Amino acid sequence: MKTLRKMNGNKYLFYLLVAGIFGIMFLLNHYTFYAADDYSYMNSFATHKKIQTVWDIFPSMYAHAKGMNGRLVAHFFVQLFLLLPSGIFDVVNAVIFTMLILILYRYLFWNKKRNALALVSIFGLVWYFAPAFGQTMLWLDGSCNYLWGCTFSLYYLYPFMKLAKNEKVMEGKIQKILFLVAGFAMGDYLETASFGTIVLAVLLLAYHRWMKKEKIPVWGMGSVLTMLAGFLFMMTAPGTLKNKVATSGLHGYVDNFINAMDLYVEHLLILLLILIVLIVCSVILEWYKKTWIALFFLAASLITNFMHTVASYYPERNMLSSALFLIVGILIMVEEFWHRKIGIAVTCSCWILLVFFTVQFFHGSWDIYNTYAKCMARDRLAKEQIAAGEKNLTLPVVIPETEYAALKGLADLDVANQYVWNNAAMAAYYQVESIIGVAE
């Protein structure tokens, strides 16, 4: 047992696992082809011509705010990485995912303790419970929006968490100024992650003021205001008001609320129950130290889910913020249990999780590779038809088996109308007149 504990805390094993997570995600990104909106975002929304330089992105984003939505920070990165060689995105996205796992680890262990089992378990939690994994973690457009937005959110909240713990934070003037500027980008990044970050920042500042009896720092209030400014900029963009805000009246809001509740129960019920049980147990055992903060993350999860009551649609990928806020709440509570005498129960739970994770990992990874192979075969077929002088291509529709493949649930080629947006976008990519899909 002592040998296992020593191995579990070995720094070299820990860093090897971090490198392994990066390597796995790099390979999975490498074996993910362009999908759906990726083809559209290769072209400028201002000129409808292919993006050629970084400078072309700026007028494109201006037109995007008018016609699509106000997520300008996220979609700037989308068009930037579609302009660059795909291998660069594979590396950067793997780094961002690894950063997500590491910040979640820091929410579990605030000290510099190394725990290999905890690290792998967090990877397992994200792999198993992140809704629409392929769309949010591997798809280029989706990753720049959801993975990057949620990772940005958790890092931005970290100083507020340190403040709630009465730790020193934001001592330099330049650091504070940069934090305020980053607040606007955080507010303008992703509706769910941005609003959830604002809610949590306000709750943590209130906790610091009324529970800890400390003054709210200027940088804390200032960052909330800059986030609000960014959020309002995103939400009041003409494209957002036109495409993302529900306009169906009270009956539509009721339907949206019920749909949001159904999705939450379908995808996040297990996480919700785990967090509630941990909070109830901590109250019964009178371990109040972290209960309030866990409740804040539970509230943020519910708010970011039910804010879709006023949204025009609610795809599963939008649930990532709600899922990660629940995971953070669980990790905050688990740390309290891990250091007590019942830590063995937490360890056993981690091993059980890893069993389920392993099965899903191999199943999902195979589907990612298999979907990539089908996309590459389709790409070769397209090039063969083009080489033969065809201007109107006929290509097979690719249908993945699991949500770990990015294409699952996204709009692939239409088999009835070659002029719908997804077919037209792929036709522009291959520089042909039209593409029609045929079922596999």
DSSP string of 8-28, one letter each residue: HT-HHHHHHHHHHHHHHHHHH
Let me know: does 51 contact 85? Beta carbons within 8 Å: no
Mean pLDDT of the chain: 88
In this prediction, residue 181 carries a pLDDT of: 93
Cβ neighbours around 110 below 10 Å, total? 13
The secondary structure of 103-133 as a DSSP string is HHHHHH--SS---HHHHHHHHHHHHHHSTTH
The one-letter code for the residue type at 103 is: I
Q: Could you read off the pLDDT of 300-316 as tens digits, one per residue?
A: 999 999 988 887 778 88
Q: Which of 75-89, 202-216, 273-287 has the highest mean pLDDT?
A: 75-89
pLDDT band at 343 (very low <50, low <70, confident <90, very high): low
Mean pLDDT for 86-105 is: 95
152's tokens:
């940005």
- Between the CA of residue 195 and those of 190, 265, 392, what are the distances in Å? 8, 21, 45
Is 193 exposed, middle or buried (CB count within 10 Å of its CB: 0-12, 13-18, 19+)? buried
Is 395 exposed, middle or buried (CB count within 10 Å of its CB: 0-12, 13-18, 19+)? buried
Cβ neighbours around 358 below 10 Å, total? 12
Let me know: does 207 contact 296? Beta carbons within 8 Å: yes
User: Which residue reads 């397992």 in tokens?
Assistant: 124
In this prediction, residue 246 carries a pLDDT of: 66
In this prediction, residue 213 carries a pLDDT of: 73
Let me know: does 54 contact 47? Beta carbons within 8 Å: no
Q: How far from each other are the two terminal CA atoms of the chain, in whole angstroms?
A: 53
The residues with which 394 forms a beta bridge, in sequence order, are: 436
Q: Which of 16-20, 57-61, 208-212, 256-260 has the lowest mean pLDDT?
A: 208-212
Q: Is the confidence at residue 361, as pLDDT, over 80?
A: yes
Q: Which of 164-168, 189-193, 216-220, 275-279 has the lowest mean pLDDT?
A: 164-168
Q: Could you read off the pLDDT of 107-161 as tens digits, one per residue?
A: 887 766 787 888 888 999 999 899 999 999 999 999 999 999 999 999 999 999 9
Mean pLDDT for 366-378 is: 94
In this prediction, residue 244 carries a pLDDT of: 74
Q: Could you read off the pLDDT of 393-421 as tens digits, one per residue?
A: 899 999 999 999 999 988 888 888 888 98
345's tokens:
């129960």
In this prediction, residue 84 carries a pLDDT of: 92
- Between the CA of residue 10 and those of 23, 112, 269, 358, what are the distances in Å? 20, 12, 35, 23
Higher local confidence (pLDDT), 142 or 247: 142
Is 250 exposed, middle or buried (CB count within 10 Å of its CB: 0-12, 13-18, 19+)? exposed
d(C-alpha 163, C-alpha 292), whole Å: 14
In this prediction, residue 61 carries a pLDDT of: 92
Is 46 exposed, middle or buried (CB count within 10 Å of its CB: 0-12, 13-18, 19+)? middle
Q: Which residues of 129-145 are buried (b: 16+ CB within 10 A; e: fewer)?
A: bbbbbbbbbbbbbbbbb
User: Which residue reads 């972290």 in tokens?
Assistant: 290
In this prediction, residue 325 carries a pLDDT of: 96
131's tokens:
């809704």
Let me know: does 302 contact 195? Beta carbons within 8 Å: no
d(C-alpha 168, C-alpha 237), whole Å: 37
In this prediction, residue 173 carries a pLDDT of: 85
Mean pLDDT for 93-120 is: 87
Domain ranges in the chain are 2-367
What is the Cα Rg of the chain in Å?
Answer: 23
